[in-house]
Amino acid sequence: MCKVILFAGTTEGRELAEFLDKRQVPAWVCVATEYGEELLPKSEFLQVSHIRLDEQQMQEFFKEHGAELVLDATHPYAVQVTENIKNACEKNGISYVRVLRGNEGSGEVSDCIYTDTTEEAAAFLEETEGNILVTTGSKEAAKYTAISDYQRRVFLRILSVPQAVEQCAELGFEGRNLICMQGPFSVELNRAMIKQYDCRYLVTKMSGNTGGFLEKVQAAKDCGCKLVVIGRPAKEDGISVKEAKRLLCRKLSLQGEPEIFLVGIGMGNRESRTLEAEKILEHADLIIGAKRMVEACAKKGQDTWAEYNSQKIAAYIQAHPEYEKVAVVLSGDVGFYSGAKKLTQVLKGRVRLVCGISSPVYFMSRIGLSWDDAVLVSTHGKTENLTAAIKQNKKVFAILGTRDGVSQLSRKLLEYGMGEVKLYVGENLSYTDEKISSGTARDFAEYETSLLSVVCAVNENAETFPATHGVPDEKFIRDKVPMTKEEVRTVSLAKLRLQTDSVCWDIGAGTGSVSIEMALRAWKGRVYAIEKKELAVRLLEKNKRYFGTDNLEVVEGTAPEALKELEAPTHAFIGGSSGNMKEILDCLFRKNPRARVVINCIALESMSEALRCLKEFPVTDTEIVQLTVSRAKTAGPYHMMMGENPIYIISCTGTGES
């Protein structure tokens, strides 16, 4: 027993037949001709009939196959057929649904001739001169024989069905005046036919978007051809194809398995999209994305949903199984700071990524610079250490997320002595109000941009620091504050095993040599330098500005009190405890039981205290290294090795137990 009987023969009917086939719904599909049957998908789930049925035959057909639902997707001009289907359903007590042809964009067109019937159109054309291209089909062909000299003037375009060809030939339409072709017809093809046959008039019905009405309108306009439009029959009640699919899913409890495309749409305007993206958007049943992007991509009448939250998007797609092709639009490229990464995870791989033109590619071409040697970052919705990147790299590109993003960056650069860095600022890229400005950081200190802005910083005086630990001691501003020397600092930081995004504590920071190196290595993370001495705090601030380590925060105070409000560390270096070793470790492991810790001790008593304290905490991977460093000093023509105080370097990792 079939579940659905579908009367097709139109584009809408074929679309619904394909929908039923994909969802494996047993159905009968009724078409008027063998040619209509050939256009349908060959399927084990679809039974096809091309026998014309009257009302009584329909009643018997419905009774025989026992369908739950009848969908009428016949042509809008097949008024009698629709009436028969409706009456047969009513008499059999079967649900009837009329599926209407979409008519978006088919409203009144200026400079056209409108008639209510084909007879009226023929009567009008009788009073004109010039060739006529008729696109209303073979069923109406006889009515055009009322036009004098129709065999010469009228060019009739029909389907290439033998029965229709014979019928039109008998009426006198033959040779070059009978054009047998299957649509759809593009603007270009319509235009070519009008020119080929030198037609001054084009006759069409108000057939809606799927009937190729807009393509005919545009072609006629391009060729200076007068359009004669035969209006649609009386307005019908019914639902669209999309609503029919929704009804089928609800009534038959169908689950959705749509094709999902994550589409990079470039900068925003149509010209910056790829042809692949345009094609996918053109045929998508549903477009999802941020409101601005959806409005830029969707065509009139297309279903849209303004949303960028990954979980909500996944839930919406699951709740609407009627959609077969879903496009989620994302700005720029799907692989450059895009929501595509999270969406791919949430949608569990049921997606296809479609690349787009990313903002650095577009912007760098606009300012005439290459981007292959640029550091690419984004501060949109997150914090990035831009000043450090600009300090160490000649070229940095960044996506900004606020109106004051450029001014904030510029003031930071001024603070860190980089006021002469060249900035290129791009706003509303690709739109009509696109704006590109350039100048030094000093010029942009009070500049406010649009929300859609990017910046490229060019620092000709970029200073690249060592790729490993070991900034020379002489690079630091010291004064009279003790400093962890280069060799000890290098070994200690190696034992700390930092990551680029580590959150670090430097307790007893002194001049900040360890803090600075932490900040340079963990440049995507954060470093807190805790120091109680006022002179040392001032030196820390100076070294922070000199090295451009904006991810370093100086905390004045004594540990452990100064630690209580700080975020949990992933790594901690203890260079001085002021006798509070146990309290410091207790605070540290309460914040993060898995923290990695390195302790430096000079005095034996300090080392003993540290080891005693560590026995009270759940730690593993404990290691003690004694480091003795000697430096050569010149004495006349000789070099004398002068020993530094031996240092004990203790390292361990919390086990995660409380």
User: Per residue in 557-611, pLDDT tens?
Assistant: 999 999 999 999 999 999 988 889 999 999 999 999 999 999 999 999 999 999 9
> Has residue 107 got a pLDDT over 70?
no
- The helix-helix angle for 55-65 and 79-92 (nearest 10°) equals 50
How far apart, in whole angstroms, are the C-alpha atoms of residue 529 and residue 429? 40
- The helix-helix angle for 213-223 and 187-196 (nearest 10°) equals 50
How far apart, in whole angstroms, are the C-alpha atoms of residue 624 and residue 116? 98
Give the model's confidence band at 37: pLDDT under 50 very low, under 70 low, under 90 confident, else very high. confident
pLDDT > 70 in the chain, percent: 97
pLDDT > 90 in the chain, percent: 62
> Has residue 156 got a pLDDT over 60?
yes
The pLDDT value recorded for residue 102 is 67
> Has residue 378 got a pLDDT over 50?
yes
The pLDDT value recorded for residue 106 is 46
DSSP code, position 45: S
Average pLDDT over residues 622-630: 93
Residue 120 in tokens: 């009226």
How far apart, in whole angstroms, are the C-alpha atoms of residue 223 and residue 219? 6
> Has residue 77 got a pLDDT over 80?
no
Cβ neighbours for 427, distance < 8 A, ≥ 6 positions apart:
433, 434, 435, 436, 437, 449, 450, 452, 453
Candidates 360, 132, 295; CA nearest to 287 is: 295
Q: Cα 379 vs. chain centroid, distance in angstroms? A: 18
Candidates 113, 118, 115, 110; CA nearest to 135 is: 118
Residue 277 in tokens: 């993206």
How far apart, in whole angstroms, are the C-alpha atoms of residue 429 and residue 433? 8
Cβ neighbours for 341, distance < 8 A, ≥ 6 positions apart:
none
Q: Per 3-state DSSP, what percentage of the chain is helix, strand, and coil (rounded to 5)?
A: 35, 25, 40
Helix (H) or strand (E) holding 96: strand 95-98
Amino acid making up residue 491: V
Give the model's confidence band at 109: pLDDT under 50 very low, under 70 low, under 90 confident, else very high. low
Candidates 45, 8, 14, 53; CA nearest to 27 is: 45
> Has residue 44 got a pLDDT over 80?
yes
> Average pLDDT over the chain, rounded to whole?
90
Give the model's confidence band at 212: pLDDT under 50 very low, under 70 low, under 90 confident, else very high. confident
Residue 137 in tokens: 């089909």
The pLDDT value recorded for residue 255 is 83
**263, β-bridge pairs:** 329, 354
How far apart, in whole angstroms, are the C-alpha atoms of residue 320 and residue 192? 42
Cβ neighbours for 613, distance < 8 A, ≥ 6 positions apart:
581, 582, 585
Domains plus CATH for the chain? 4-98 (3.40.50.720), 112-230 (3.40.50.620), 256-357 (3.40.1010.10), 360-458 (3.30.950.10), 473-654 (3.40.50.150)
Residue 231 neighbours by CB distance under 10 Å: 12
The answer to whether the beta carbons of residues 390 and 418 sit under 8 Å apart is yes
H, E, C per residue of 574-599 = ECCCCCCHHHHHHHHHHHCCCCEEEE
The pLDDT value recorded for residue 232 is 64
Residue 539 in tokens: 């030196």
pLDDT digits (tens, 9 = 90+) for 245-275: 989 998 888 887 889 999 999 998 888 899 9
Average pLDDT over residues 181-186: 86
Give the model's confidence band at 4: pLDDT under 50 very low, under 70 low, under 90 confident, else very high. very high
Candidates 464, 455, 294, 474; CA nearest to 369 is: 455
How far apart, in whole angstroms, are the C-alpha atoms of residue 204 and residue 211? 10
How far apart, in whole angstroms, are the C-alpha atoms of residue 360 and residue 265? 14
The pLDDT value recorded for residue 1 is 65
> Has residue 479 got a pLDDT over 90?
no
> Has residue 105 got a pLDDT over 50?
no
Give the model's confidence band at 111: pLDDT under 50 very low, under 70 low, under 90 confident, else very high. confident
How far apart, in whole angstroms, are the C-alpha atoms of residue 371 and residue 359? 11
**556, β-bridge pairs:** 531
How far apart, in whole angstroms, are the C-alpha atoms of residue 336 and residue 186? 36
pLDDT digits (tens, 9 = 90+) for 439-460: 999 999 999 998 879 999 999 9
- Range from 77-81, 400-404, 472-476, 500-504 that averages highest in pLDDT: 500-504
> Has residue 354 got a pLDDT over 90?
yes
CA-atom Rg of the chain in angstroms: 38
Tokens 């007068």 identify what position? 226
Average pLDDT over residues 48-60: 89
Residue 78 in tokens: 């097949």
> Has residue 116 got a pLDDT over 70?
yes
